[in-house]
Structure 1
Amino acid sequence: MTHTITAPRPYQNYVYAYPHKTAYRPFTPRPLLADLWAGESRRALSLYLHIPFCEVRCGFCNLFTRVGAPDGLTGRYLDALTRQAEAVRAALGDARPPHFATAAFGGGTPTFLEAGELSRLCDIAERVMGADLRAIPLSVEASPSTATADRLRVLAERGATRLSLGVQSFLDREARAAVRPQRRADVEAALGRVRDAGIPVLNIDLIYGINDQTAATWRQSLDAALAWKPEEIYLYPLYVRPLTGLDRNTDPIAAEREWDGQRLRRYAEGRDHLLAAGYEQVSMRMFRRLDAPPQGPDDYACQTDGMIGLGCGARSYTSGAHYSFDYAVAPREVRTIIDTYTATTDFTRAVCGRVIDGDEAERRYLLQSLLQAEGFAIADYQLRFGRQPRDAFPAELDALAERGWLTDPDSHQLRLSPEGLAYSDAIGPEFFSPDVRAAMAAYEHR
């Protein structure tokens, strides 16, 4: 995985969405949701419900979540979620009712909620928002300790097609090193319960780059996951981010070249092992079993279609703006934002976000297409934006070609090479706009 051209550091920014929330700012004045969604397509929307609670905070976690929920906080949170859903549904109106093509419950840990609360969460999606959870793909995130039989039963009955279990490592010592206290026996028991529940797609998350992880221990986790024949496996590089548990206890030198090399080696080992085991690579992180059943109809395109996010950590997308609530990582700040959310009665306006003009929309489309293993057709890009990718980003694409990170720069499909996919987290930031870079740099982590 080497090339004569000097490569940038491989692990810079996980681009699962663009722009990142650290580029968001408070809206002044706050726009009405009805105005943001006026004229927007409702043909294929994604619905995301965010639950910001976990039983423990992992050392690598920078998600918007808090540990525990004392004094009936989950009930108050679901009350606020209902109020928000009602306001959003009213803003969308009935002249062109929304059609949801996909749904997801994320967090945090959605299965932190008890079984009855999960039923209530599904009711919000179905009865308030109008999503038919039994007719569309529904993905739910879970942890081993919260994947209990009664919770899984509710999810299966309400139409969940995918359950993603955050295992990270099957080795107890590595789990402790990542500040994720769990026992392998408990993980295996949880996986058994997921299979017993009959949810069609099981995804297992694993992390590479943990302190003292070796090729041999990484292979043990991979083989332990493969023993369950999961339909999907995600391989995540460990990041040490500001204000996370590991960041408070790790010398910054740990993130230098030696760690980069270790993570690249573990990535290649994991990728090759999964490909040999009958999986296809969908992106740098995602691998799908070749004979995995389809989740169901999915006509949602994340590059172009809108998303409605409910919950204080969720973001929503229209063609002209992305919006959410305030963002933080530090526990005290997160608690304050959750308390503010649960006390909110007026959800008719967007609080924080960013206007997405033509240039930013083009960057977002390219990033979310190029970072998929299949890439994208240049003709589709030109049809949408009126020019070819090379006309828009000549310097960036020339640099990728010089490094050997494109499969065939002269073909009709723009696709990353295997080495390019390995460097996805370096490629993404190269396409950030100057304005987004400046906003992210000016953001004060809290």
Structure 2
Amino acid sequence: MTTAQQTSPYQHYVYAYPHKTAYRRLQDRPALRELWAAEDRGTLSLYVHIPFCEVRCGFCNLFTRIGAPDGLTGSYLDALERQADAVRAALGDAEPVRFATAAFGGGTPTFLTASELERLCDIAERRMGADLRAVPLSVEASPATATADRLAVLAERGTTRLSLGVQSFVDSEARAAVRPQRRAEVEAALGRIRDAGVPVLNIDLIYGIDGQTERTWRASLDAALAWRPEELYLYPLYVRPLTGLGRHQGDAGADPEWDTQRLRLYRAGRDHLLARGYVQQSMRMFRRADAPPQGADDYACQTDGMIGLGCGARSYTSTLHYSFDYAVGMHEIRGIIDDYVTTADFAHAEVGYRVDGHEARRRHLLQSLLQAEGLSVADYRARFGSSPDGDFGTELDRLAGRGWLTDTSGGLLVLTPEGLAHSDAVGPELFSPEVRSAMAAYERK
């Protein structure tokens, strides 16, 4: 890693560890039944991935394709059913299987028609056994696909959180991010979501777009705040290889001026939301202080398992994270989706990363520190029989020396406000050498 990369605040958005580019083909193709045999199945998360969008934004490096030829969404749901049956059989009935939380992501789940969304919910409920009306259910949507009929299905089936990708309320900025939408369409979609009665509305916004200023950033924030969203996510713009913006702008390397601009806009956005009754949950997430509770009380991402359905979804056991092949380029993605919809055998893990005790400690440290509430030293010690300082003293001392980490009197390791601002540098700094090496060796496709 170069010095420029080390000092840049924007290296990786760490929403999962190990990163998927560290996954490799599993030559032994372990059986899911064996993988889950010794796992706690009483508190699981269910994630279902829908890899379709009506358009691909210029910044997007998610596993998704534009549009779907006739019959592809139906074939994809057929494959989801086969996979769900195989996974549920692998979980077995020796112990109760319970899902504490559920999410539909993508891609854009609302790319599916209303009737297809009904079928999607049926797969989660009838095939997997998730009680969608009894647990938090989050669904991602775009303004163009947040139609009244789709929203009615989602609300009736128990959706508690609807996340709308807006990115900017300024039309010129939306065009600069290669997101063809108009503010009027966004406002209409927000009205339909509020009319549907989903308890929690999240709005995604992006800072660092070409031509964006503090004034226009404030305008987008205020336009979002007018809807009193229960949550707001503020994302820094990344220009990644193989994306639309990446192909257009190329790899310019480190850009200190852009880093400074993004940090300035982040701080302006953070302070604006804090002054208006929002509480910061992480670098990206802000939640209205009086918003209804959202999230499972008994599910912890650091410790509990996750079942992923769909060709872009991950699954987590305590010793293996697994998925299907990963790509960003459109041709490769289409090929992976085509392979998925013709797959008959879903009883084995195909691609993944084995998580040993040391990586499990790193994952717990990462996922806790990158939340504003921080890492409980007592919880860490109870789980691993060691201390964070004993396991990662050098890394933690380095963060503290920069003023990014503090040790509270309540036994918490917490990122300072500046530490949270630099979360996308903090996370990668805590990656293990093995994960870094695997990521560096990954061949982009």
**Same topology, TM > 0.5:** yes
CA distance in 2 between counterparts of 1:376 and 1:394 reads 14
Tell me whether 6-15 or 392-401 shows the greater mean CA deviation: 6-15
Aligned to 1:30: 29
- What secondary structure, in the 3-state scheme, does the structure 2 residue paired with 1:415 have? strand
Aligned pairs for 1:46-445 (under 5 A) are: 46-253=45-252, 255-295=254-294, 297-408=296-407, 412-445=411-444
Using the TM superposition, give the Cα deviation of residue 385 of structure 1 relative to its aligned residue in structure 2, in angstroms.
1.1
CA distance in 2, matches of 1:279, 1:323: 36
Instruction: Report SS of the residue matched to 1:252.
Output: coil
Report the AA paired with residue 326 of structure 1: D
One-letter code aligned to 2:300 = A
1:76 alignment partner AA: S
8 A contact 2:8–2:254 mirrored in 1 = no
What's the CA shift string for 1:375-411, capped at 9, x where partnerless?
0211111111111111111111011111011133776
Q: Which amino acid aligns with 1:412?
A: G
- 1:30–1:93: structure 2 CA closer, same or farther, 3 Å change rule? same
Contact 2:204 2:235 in 1 (8 A): yes
Supply the distance in 1 between the matched residues of 2:173 and 2:71 (Cα, whole angstroms): 34
Identical-residue share of aligned pairs (%)? 75
Answer yes or no: is the 8 Å Cα contact 1:137–1:298 preserved in 2. no
Change (3 A) 1:7 1:441: closer
| Long gaps (5+) in structure 2 | none
**What is the one-letter code of the residue matched to 1:153?**
A
* 8 Å CA contact 1:200, 1:295 repeated in 2: no
User: 1:253 deviation in Å?
Assistant: 3.2
**TM-score of the superposed pair, with normalisation by structure 1:** 0.97
Give the deviation of 1:295 after TM superposition. Answer: 3.0
Contact 2:361 2:384 in 1 (8 A): yes
Structure 2 Cα separation of the partners of residues 195 and 265 of structure 1: 32
**AA at the equivalent of 1:81:** L
Distance of 2:397 and 2:409 partners within structure 1 = 11
TM-score by length of 2: 0.98
Shift of 1:251: 4.4
Aligned-partner Cα distance in 2 for 1:149–1:255? 44
Q: Which amino acid aligns with 1:370?
A: L
Cα deviation, 1:82-131, whole Å, max 9, x if unaligned, reads 00000000011111131000000000000000000000000000000000
CA separation of 1:403/1:296 partners in 2, compared to 1, >3 Å: closer, same or farther? Answer: closer
The 8 Å contact of residues 101 and 295 in structure 2, kept in 1 or not, is answered as no
Q: Distance in 1 between matches of 2:37 and 2:378?
A: 29
Equivalent pairs counted in the alignment come to 441
Match of 1:407, SS state, is strand
Query: Which residue does the alignment assign to 1:3?
Result: none
- Residue 246 of structure 1: CA displacement? 0.3
- Residue identity in the other structure for 1:85: A
- Which secondary structure state, in structure 1, belongs to the residue aligned with residue 138 of structure 2? strand
Contact kept, 8 Å, 1:7 with 1:403, in 2: the verdict is no
Is the deviation greater in 292-301 or in 205-214?
Answer: 292-301
Hey, what's the Cα distance between the residues in 2 that align with 1:292 and 1:298?
16
Return the offset for 1:14.
0.6
Please list the CA deviations of residues 129-179 of structure 1 after superposition, one character each: whole Å capped at 9, or x if unmatched.
000000000000000000000000000000000000000000000000000
Partner of 2:8: 9
Structure 1 residue identity aligned to 2:49? H
Deviation at 1:10, TM superposition (A): 0.2
User: How many angstroms apart in 1 are the aligned matches of 2:410 and 2:46?
Assistant: 35
Q: Partners of 1:296 and 1:253 in 2: how far apart?
A: 39
Distance 1:305-1:67 versus aligned 2 partners, 3 A rule: same
Q: Which moved more, 1:46-55 or 1:405-414?
A: 405-414
Q: Residues of 2 paired with 1:441 and 1:291: CA distance?
A: 43
Q: Is the 8 A contact 1:162 1:200 kept in 2?
A: yes
Structure 1 letter corresponding to 2:166: V
Structure-2 separation of matches of 1:16 and 1:344: 28
Question: Do the aligned partners of 2:241 and 2:251 also contact (CA within 8 Å) in 1?
Answer: no
Whole-angstrom CA distance in 2 between matches of 1:203 and 1:275 = 16
CA distance in 1 between counterparts of 2:193 and 2:126 reads 26
Unaligned runs of 5+ in 1: 1-5
